[in-house]
Amino acid sequence: MNTEIATLSSLSPEAIDEKLMMATISDREFWSKHARSTLGPLLSLAGTYTASDQASHLRFFDEHVVSCLGSQKVEPKVEYWASPDLAGTRFEVSLNLTTRGKAKVRLSFDLLRDGTGPDPFGENNAREVLHRLCSATGGDPRLMDHLMEAFFLTPSETEALREKVRPHMQIPPACIAFELEGHRQILKAYIPVVRKAAMGKPAADVALSALRDLDTLGYDLSYNLDLLGEYLASRQGEANPVMIGIDCLDPKTNQGSRVKVYVHFESCTFARARDVITLGGRLSGETIVKKVNLLRSIWHLLLNEPDGIPDDKIDTWAKPERCPGAAFSGVLFSIDLAAGKKMPDIKIYVPVFQYAERTETAFRNSDAVLKTVGHEWGQTGRFNEVATAVFGQQKAHGQSHLSYSYTESKGVYLSAYFSIPVFHGEQMTKVYDILD
């Protein structure tokens, strides 16, 4: 008891309130209340959603998402490996801003599993949850089913991997997100490649082979896959495909429906970013040049270097990370392959928490990024105001990443991710150091 009192006395009033609430309410109540202290205010302040839209999303959360989040408490001895873009999060909201569109809010979470019983990696549960959510959102499950068939383990592979993975290691079978569009929820599914790759097959081969021959599902990705395959082959040992993300929509009636290949690199330098955005020079043209130049203009802010980085160092300088070797160290890219489009859109996800000790600093840097690219939310300081109003006091969430892209149709595209991290420094594991 004395230890518990001492622990509480070292916490902020907000953290104490959170601990007391966890001790007295059910998991379902906890997550419902948490959504109304984070997702609810963000929807309201985004300025895009009507009161009816906001109520629809919170109702959907209560009816369909709460049951997926599990216990509000996580055993601290459990090691955790998650997709780098989600930063090992139980619950994450993100705010997407473009210079030619309205603000959008998204919600995402990892599916956790307990590592025991006949479904040690939670894949059977993931199938059931994804199908239930796909039905609830009116989505198209065909590509999702295809990817689960490709990436989920056979019974013999499950047994073989169970013997290799350290006890209690968490490898989420899937990550789930919803784009909140008006009153609608659009399901997005993310399937990690790492378990299948751990069976001895190169991750690039596993990822690309699963995306071939999707014409019958409405995806003609052959040209872009050839480009990506050439690039990955030229960067063996550096580029690590970690998961595939999809919009669970019928591409024949939703032309923007995407397949996203997430690729992780251990080094975060501007030269690396330029190399990936151009796929090693395979993509070129005015739009690509503008995309690279805009990224260069904000690079110092992403790395929390407000005074700038000298021109002779910006290409190759890698800023030391706060938590090196973590599953969300280095830098992540997504290569977005959209139905009906010949050129992929490549986004970069910078782990801003690695460079800014305080989340308030990350908020200010993100505000400065928006100002630099000419977005109204940066010019007026609105991003910092909204982020501080929603997340500045409750302490559970921090800004984990800021993603960037540029296209002619959307202009500058930025997404800020606000996550609840599961574990901290000493408990983080290396990206591929998951096997004995």
Mean pLDDT (whole number) for 260-268? 94
**pLDDT, tens digit (0-9, with 9 covering 90-100), for 28-41:** 999 999 999 999 99
Residue 284 has pLDDT above 90, yes or no: yes
Alpha carbons within 13 A on the beta-carbon side of 235: 23
Between CA 370 and CA 414 the distance in angstroms is 8
Q: What does the pLDDT read at residue 339?
A: 74
Residue 79 has pLDDT above 50, yes or no: no
Residue 105 has pLDDT above 80, yes or no: yes
| Degrees to nearest 5, angle at CA 339 with 337 and 340 | 115
| Degrees to nearest 5, angle at CA 277 with 276 and 283 | 105
Q: What does the pLDDT read at residue 398?
A: 83
DSSP per residue, 63-128: IIIHHHH--S---TTS-B---GGGTSEEEEEEEEEETTS--EEEEEEEPP--S-TT-TT-HHHHHH
Residue 421: both structure tokens together: 């991290």
Query: With left for phi above 0 and alpha for psi between -120 and 50, is residue 325 left, alpha or beta?
Result: left
Between CA 411 and CA 406 the distance in angstroms is 5
Residues in the chain: 436
Residue 355: both structure tokens together: 């460079």
φ, ψ of residue 59 in degrees (nearest 5)? -65, -45
**pLDDT, tens digit (0-9, with 9 covering 90-100), for 359-414:** 899 999 999 999 999 999 999 999 999 999 999 876 677 898 999 999 999 999 99
Residue whose token pair is 């065909």 = 142
Are 382 and 390 in contact, with CB atoms under 8 Å apart?
A: no
**pLDDT, tens digit (0-9, with 9 covering 90-100), for 214-241:** 888 888 888 899 999 999 999 998 998 9
Average model confidence (pLDDT) across the chain: 85
Residue 334: both structure tokens together: 């997504």
Higher-confidence residue of 377 and 339: namely 377
Higher-confidence residue of 92 and 295: namely 295
Query: What three-state secondary structure class fits 178?
Result: strand
Alpha carbons within 13 A on the beta-carbon side of 427: 17
Are 198 and 148 in contact, with CB atoms under 8 Å apart?
A: no
Residue whose token pair is 């990436």 = 151
Pairing relationship of beta strands 240-247 and 184-192 according to DSSP bridges: antiparallel
Are 90 and 107 in contact, with CB atoms under 8 Å apart?
A: no
Mean pLDDT (whole number) for 295-313? 97
Residue 133 has pLDDT above 70, yes or no: yes
φ, ψ of residue 267 in degrees (nearest 5)? -105, 135
Residue whose token pair is 């619950």 = 91
Q: What are 152's strand-pairing partners?
A: none
Are 268 and 331 in contact, with CB atoms under 8 Å apart?
A: yes
Residue 119: both structure tokens together: 């479904």
Are 39 and 58 in contact, with CB atoms under 8 Å apart?
A: yes
Between CA 65 and CA 135 the distance in angstroms is 13
**pLDDT, tens digit (0-9, with 9 covering 90-100), for 176-214:** 999 999 999 999 999 998 778 777 888 999 999 999 878
Q: What does the pLDDT read at residue 329?
A: 81
Residue 104 has pLDDT above 70, yes or no: yes
Alpha carbons within 13 A on the beta-carbon side of 188: 20
Q: What does the pLDDT read at residue 15?
A: 52
**Which of the four pLDDT bands, split at 50, 70 and 90, describes residue 57?**
very high
Higher-confidence residue of 60 and 17: namely 60
The pTM score is: 0.89
